[in-house]
Amino acid sequence: MFRHIPDWMVYTLALFAIVGGVFSTTPDQNAPPATPDSIERDGATLPPPSAYDETVLVRVETPKDGIGSAFLINADGQYLTARHVVEGCDDVSLLVAPGQYLPVKDISVSGTSDLALMTAKPSASPVALDTSADMRIGSYGFHVGYPQGRPGEAASRLISRSRLVTSGLRSGEESVLTWAETGRTSDLEGPLGGLSGGPVYDSEGRVRGVIIAESPRRGRIYSASPEAIAKFLAAQGVEPIGERPVPFNPQSYGGAADRARRNLQVVKVACRVGTSS
């Protein structure tokens, strides 16, 4: 039947096929994987922890100098971060201005989860922390901090719970939230090291988790659960009192993240090991 099609039409169709092939090629090979099929349950209530949750293995190594993130939870100068960001450090400080670090006065770590509480100088602009367990599959999460030691952020969607199993320097197991990365700072490539300890904001600007791990190959980010955060803060006798949240959205979350860092709501954490010797 093709013998009745004019030659000019054949050439035109071939040209469109070639052009379409060129422009459909994705140049950014570091882009996160496509959101998994489980996101089709968008809107379903996140179920409670289960023995059938996917297991994620993390090995805790000997402490060394490093960079992490943290966020302010009240005007008393108390910051939440990940335990592994500050554990084993001889000196911990917070970057509050270019070249200016604020010393941390006190650090308390959780014995059951990857969480730590730091106390520094009283400050304004604490986050609006929401530790309720009412979360929905498919909800957007915005991860803000200092990946690779510089300002950056990632966007994601909540897909499930996982069981985080820790070995090495310390061992343990905890239920965490699993987020599928959907975007990030345009020039940020590779692992998100340094983002640990930072907050996970929801679309309304409330903080729903603390970033504790990632799986770069699978495009997953893991955060401490709201239940774990609530339990830890209750044990410390700390009440989070935050300001009115500022919304985040997938199209302009970079600006909201910059504002959080500029207001010192989210700060860089510097760990130094061996300074006491």
The mean pLDDT of the chain is 84
Is residue 236 predicted with pLDDT exceeding 80? yes
Is residue 243 predicted with pLDDT exceeding 90? no
Task: Return the pLDDT at 123.
Answer: 85
Give the dihedral of Cα atoms 196, 183, 36, 52; nearest 10 deg.
Answer: 10
How far apart, in Å, do the first and last CA atoms of the chain sit? 86
% residues pLDDT > 70 (the chain): 84
Task: Return the pLDDT at 31.
Answer: 43
Q: Estimate to the nearest angstrom the gap between the alpha carbon of 209 and the chain centroid.
A: 8
Distance from C-alpha of 176 to C-alpha of 110, rounded to nearest angstrom:
15
pTM over 0.75: yes
What tokens does 230 get?
A: 């609530």
Task: Return the pLDDT at 218.
Answer: 87
Task: Report in angstroms the alpha-carbon separations of 245 from 90, 92, 203.
Answer: 34, 28, 10
> Maximum distance among all alpha carbons in the chain?
88
Tell which wins on pLDDT, 2 or 132.
132
Task: For residues 43-65, give the mean pLDDT.
Answer: 86
Task: Return the pLDDT at 274.
Answer: 83
Task: Return the pLDDT at 124.
Answer: 85
What tokens does 54 get?
A: 């996917």
Domain boundaries, the chain: 37-272
Is residue 36 predicted with pLDDT exceeding 90? no
Task: Return the pLDDT at 4.
Answer: 43
In sequence order, what are the residues at sequence separation of 6 or more whose Cβ sits closer than 8 angstroms to the Cβ of residue 79? 70, 71, 72, 73, 94, 117, 118, 119, 120, 267
Residue 10 CA neighbour count, 13 Å, CB half: 7
- Tens digits of residue pLDDT in 187-210: 888 999 999 999 999 999 999 999
Task: For residues 92-103, give the mean pLDDT.
Answer: 90
Is residue 17 predicted with pLDDT exceeding 80? no
- Tens digits of residue pLDDT in 111-167: 999 999 999 988 889 999 999 888 999 999 999 999 999 999 999 999 999 999 988
Task: Return the pLDDT at 32.
Answer: 52
Distance from C-alpha of 247 to C-alpha of 259, rounded to nearest angstrom:
11
Q: Yes or no: say if 155 and 198 are a contact pair by the CB < 8 Å rule.
A: no
- Out of 60-69, 177-186, 233-242, which region has the weakest mean confidence (pLDDT)? 60-69
Task: For residues 64-79, give the mean pLDDT.
Answer: 93
CATH number of 37-272: 2.40.10.120
Q: What sign does the dihedral 82-85-89-92 (CA atoms) show?
A: negative
Cα–Cα nearest to 246, from 203, 213, 214: 203
What tokens does 190 get?
A: 């590779």
Distance from C-alpha of 226 to C-alpha of 113, rounded to nearest angstrom:
11
